[in-house]
Amino acid sequence: MTNNLQATTTLSNGVKMPWFGLGIFKVEEGPELVNAVKFAIKHGYRSIDTAAIYGNEEGVGQAIHEAMKEYGIKREELFITSKVWNADLGYESTIEAYETSLRKLGLDYLDLYLIHWPVEGKYKEAWRALETLYKDGNVNAIGVSNFQVHHLQDLMKDAEIKPMVNQVEYHPRLTQQEVKTFCDNNGIQFEAWSPLMQGQLFENPLLKELANKYNKTVAQVILRWDLQNGVVTIPKSTKERRIMENAAIFDFELSTEDLNRISDLDENLRVGPDPDNIDF
């Protein structure tokens, strides 16, 4: 399945999405951000995930353009994701938000555009806007983020196009099995944010034991577990060494038994907000 950093999964509409990418949640505008994105592209990453609320789309765009020039990468080799924020969820406002993101990134199109959170009573109009953007050829794929099964069912009742991706908090202590099974059964690609649980798993005894067994870091074991479970993943880092290390997961494979042992760490424990109780 995935034997190198450019390996892709095929979304329900035929678009190819890299299994692995760089997340840049909370990385502020400035040289650190620009360098992180450039390091990632230099070392073979092709997928970069940002969002309007991160407030760093301009820096991401700058890094993409510099990297394309310096490393001879074409735009179509990259896979760029952004997300519409809660305050902009509405038909016209979502289309405007998309255009703002494009302008900040300095791009002609996005590869994937997501609704960031399932705000009750607002996400259906936003989805209609995403469908328009998609049908008009302005974005290659559309999806959602942080949607639970009932949100997806509600959205799909009226949707013409079903989401191609659902990006959620996913790590060994929050495996979201019910949502994942629903997505798998409906051809919606599952994607993990905060795959390393913001560093809270690095001292876990089982994960340390497996890291020793496979001669890998705990982070590499977790990220490999994601891929072997068919989950696209976007770990965040700004340090070149860590960006390279996170991606060095294509030269080993976890046994089925070890995959299951990791999955058994699930405690339904979140580090981010609960999608059923959002007030932002």
- Residues marked active site are found at 54
DSSP string, the chain: ---STT-EEE-TTS-EEESB-EE-TTPPSSHHHHHHHHHHHHTT--EEE--GGGT-HHHHHHHHHHHHHHHT--GGG-EEEEEE-GGG-SHHHHHHHHHHHHHHHT-S-BSEEEE-S--TTTHHHHHHHHHHHHHTTSBS-EEEES--HHHHHHHHHH-SS--SEEEEE-BTTB--HHHHHHHHHTTPEEEEESTTGGGTTTT-HHHHHHHHHHTS-HHHHHHHHHHHTT-EE--B---HHHHHHHH--SS----HHHHHHHHTT-----SS--TTS---
